[in-house]
Amino acid sequence: MDHKKTYHSTTRDTSASSIIIEGPVLSSDLKKYRFHEQLTAFRPAQKQFEAIIGIANFTEGRIIIARTEDTIIGYVTYLHPDPLERWSKFNMEDLIELGAVEVIPDYRGAGVASGLLKVSMMDDYMENYIVISTEYYWHWDLEETRLSVWDYRKVMEKMMAAGGLLPAPTDDPEIISHPANCLMVRIGKNVPEESIKRFDKLRFLQRDQYRSMRGGL
């Protein structure tokens, strides 16, 4: 795959300020901005900034940011699944993962996260991908939002729907370990049927492994 990337942007007015949502952003452009110190959901802010700069350099990597004039206050990342995860088992070039989405507390509830997803899907090349997001309740900011796990999932599903991602069944052990966890999926309209079939097999690896074992008896 060529992993073509076409830049798009939009402006959103919030009660705090007007922000720009744009991307995919090059690593050289990311370095022009300050990364807000409250973007710490995954690791300390500076370490996370270094991580997303690295993702921007990947052939398939995509970083969409929300910023004030000079400060990044939110972002979303897309890249191939981690080599240690089941989702990389078949080395599917047209499978990418929404790896992280984060917005600082002052801008939550202002539609910034959904705006990030909408801008990411403005690029027509996204229609060539199966996009997944693995959602685990232990990653959710339940303390800051004061939402129950089920209310948070409703908010999360609504946000993901802005990018066309919907819940899909799977037998992945981590996901089925708690009923609030889920796999979110968007299949682009240009994805070939062969890739869809491989992805369906990937979603139910345990079932297929069990069938293989039964067949050997």
Over residues 90-148, the pLDDT tens digits come to: 999 999 999 999 999 999 889 999 999 999 999 999 999 999 999 999 888 888 888 99
CATH architecture of 8-215: 3-Layer(aba) Sandwich (3.40)
- Whole-prediction pTM: 0.93
Nearest one of 109, 31, 100 to 72, comparing CA atoms: 31
**What is the reported pLDDT for 209?**
59
Q: Domain boundaries in the chain?
A: 8-215
pLDDT tens for residues 66-86? 999 999 999 999 999 999 999
